[in-house]
Amino acid sequence: MKKLLMEKTSWLLLVILVLVLLVGAEGRKSRILDESSSYDLEYKAISCRAHSASITDFGGVGDGKTLNTKAFQEAVNQLSQYASDGGSQLIVPAGQWLTGSFNLTSHFTLFLQKDAVLLASQEINEWAVIDPLPSYGHGRDAAGGRYISLLFGTNLTDVIITGENGTIDGQGELWWQKFHSKKLKYTRPYLIELMHSDNIQISDLTLVNSPSWNIHPVYSSNIIIQGITILAPVKSPNTDGINPDSCTNVRLEDNYIVSGDDCVAVKSGWDEYGIKYGMPTSQLVIRRLTCISPYSAAIALGSEMSGGIQDVRAEDITAINTESGVRIKTAVGRGGFVKDVYVKGMTLHTMKWVFWMTGNYGSHADTHWDPNALPEIKGINYRDVVAENVSMAARLEGISGDPFTGICMSNVTISMAKKAKKYPWTCTDIEGITSGVQPPPCQLLPDQGPEKSEMCDFPTESLPIDNIEMQRCSYRLNY
């Protein structure tokens, strides 16, 4: 009996010993794994950062259910202490990170790793209401305030939002329904808005189902937005892609946008509010944009352009199943100007109008607009355009007594659709010239002969934003 107990005990000891050894080995193995699980992150950015942290360090949980608004705001607040000490980056690993709006800080990078998804909260009470933009006077959906954007920043410098094509999902369906049923008390939020900020980079991300506009830099300068995929149902309301608004020195490159409104909409305030604020959008370059937007334009200038739009250069634009190419929308009462616009190289397929300009867009902020505030539309250049399956080549409607002038079109080949409109051009209250344009343009755009096919070209000097070079930033991270 005693011997048996002894044997049992020694067996037990043996088992425990083996277990301890195994666990020890496991422990060592996982420590080794930990060391090798530090990994290298490398990307291009306008600035690299001295400090890194993960949202998990602040209690974030990426299960798609836990609300992370506080974790994100706490992370940004903590990391803002490094603004004058080399800056910081917040890494968001793979996972579904449900969050309400949070504010960004200066000298800061938000980095969404591959398969990281920021899911916008569907709790409307989570969304703070902020003042309307001073250059608009009103919200767009309802007079008065507007819901703050998911990612928001104001009076910042050196802000980067980037990643390995991680996603920001606005879960917009709820907002679109509220918009359609006229149940919105305030204007819908955007996905990203930066106000009064300088040195901004937004790159290598996918934005889906925004409640309204996707990316809205306003009253800001030195902005690079590149490698962004924006996806929204083509019938979703006002899901504009990228809207530079009263901004200077902006570069939009290699963006792919499918949306329910203009892929890029260049703006500068609304009627008397925009005129008073008086801040134009200028020095904007748009390259290699691909757009699908059956009810809107690849690039729109306006309709809110009351602070003015000047020196826009668009190059290598591709649009498929889109209403128009580069359109100008304005109205009596807007004031302001749209001038020195250059478009070079558009490949278009299945379009309602290749060229569309209207001075009769209406859509006023309120009834106080000034009937004497006439917009000046001048110096609008297009060259090297190929379009197929087009219903109408152009619909160009200036303002009576305030014609749109200096329109230049060269080297344009438009193939009409089987069911095209009878008259490919309608032109009223416009002035300009053409060369090498097919089908033959309206009489208000006289042909200068085929030898002038290289007119309407870009200015020769480049814009300052093109001199900004990105650095290669590399980090060794331990998780």
Considering only the stretches 60-68, 117-125, 150-158, 300-308, report the one whose residues sit in contact with ligand NAG under the rule CB under 6 A: 150-158
Report the residue number, 353 or 404, with the smaller CB distance to ligand NAG: 353
What is the closest distance, in whole angstroms, from the C-beta atom of residue 388 to ligand NAG in the complex?
Answer: 8
183 vs 419, beta carbon nearer ligand NAG = 419
Tokens, residue 195: 């106000």
Q: Using CB under 6 A, which residues numbered 193 to 212 contact ligand NAG? A: 196, 206
Rg (CA), the chain: 27
Instruction: Check binding of 229 to ligand NAG (CB under 6 A).
Output: yes
130 binds ligand NAG (CB under 6 A): yes
> Does 106 help bind ligand NAG (rule: CB under 6 A)?
no
Instruction: Report the residue number, 374 or 390, with the smaller CB distance to ligand NAG.
Output: 390
Decide if residue 233 touches ligand NAG (CB under 6 A).
no
Give φ, ψ of 476 to 5 degrees. Answer: -110, 115
Shortest Cβ contact with ligand NAG: which residue?
Answer: 384
From the centroid of its chain, how far is CA 291? 13
Greatest CA span in the chain, whole angstroms? 117
- Residue from 30, 38, 81, 155 binding ligand NAG (CB under 6 A): 155
Toward ligand NAG, which CB reaches closer, 278 or 345?
Answer: 345
Q: Which of residues 11-50 bind ligand NAG (CB under 6 A)?
A: none
Residue 242 is classified by DSSP as B
Half-sphere exposure for 95 (CA within 13 Å, toward CB): 18
The answer to whether 214 contacts ligand NAG (rule: CB under 6 A) is no
Q: Cβ of residue 229: shortest distance to ligand NAG, in angstroms?
A: 4
> What is the contact mask toward ligand NAG in residues 274 to 313, using x (rule: CB under 6 A)?
----------------------------------------
Q: Which of 53, 386, 416, 477 binds ligand NAG (CB under 6 A)?
A: 386
H or E element in which residue 180 lies: helix 173-180
463 part of the interface to ligand NAG, by CB under 6 A? no
By CB under 6 A, which span of 7-15, 180-188, 268-276, 385-393 interacts with ligand NAG?
385-393
Which residue among 66, 73, 157, 426 contacts ligand NAG (CB under 6 A)? Answer: 73
What's the token pair of residue 368?
């106080």
User: How far apart are CB 364 and ligand NAG at their closest, in Å?
Assistant: 26
CB burial of 44-76 (b: ≥16 within 10 Å; e: otherwise) equals: bbbbbbebbbbbbebebbbeeeebbeebbbbbb
Q: Which stretch binds ligand NAG (CB under 6 A): 148-156, 280-288, 368-376, 441-449?
A: 148-156
Q: Identify the active-site residue in 141, 261, 271, 384.
A: 261
Half-sphere exposure of 391 (CA within 13 A, CB side): 12
Span interacting with ligand NAG, options 152-160, 176-184, 282-290, 400-408, rule CB under 6 A: 152-160
**Distance between alpha carbon 95 and the CA centroid of its chain, in Å?**
23
Catalytic residue status for 261? yes
Which strand (E) or helix (H) includes residue 39? strand 38-45
Is the distance from CB of 301 to CB of 337 less than 8 angstroms?
no
With vertex at residue 71, the alpha carbon angle to CA 69 and CA 76, rounded to the nearest 5 degrees, is 95
Residue with tokens 């996905």: 191
Q: At residue 88, what is the residue type?
A: S
Cβ proximity to ligand NAG, 404 vs 425, nearer residue: 425
Q: How far apart are CA 197 and CA 222, in angstroms?
A: 9
Distance separating alpha carbons of residues 321 and 130, to the nearest angstrom: 36
Binding mask 398-417 for ligand NAG (x = CB under 6 A): -------------x-----x
Going by C-beta distance under 8 Å and a sequence separation of 6 or more, which residues neighbour residue 116? 62, 92, 93, 94, 95, 97, 163, 166, 167
Q: Which residues are catalytic?
A: 261
Residues of this chain that bind ligand NAG (CB under 6 A): 73, 103, 128, 130, 152, 154-155, 165, 196, 206, 229, 345, 350, 384, 386, 389, 391, 411, 417, 453-454
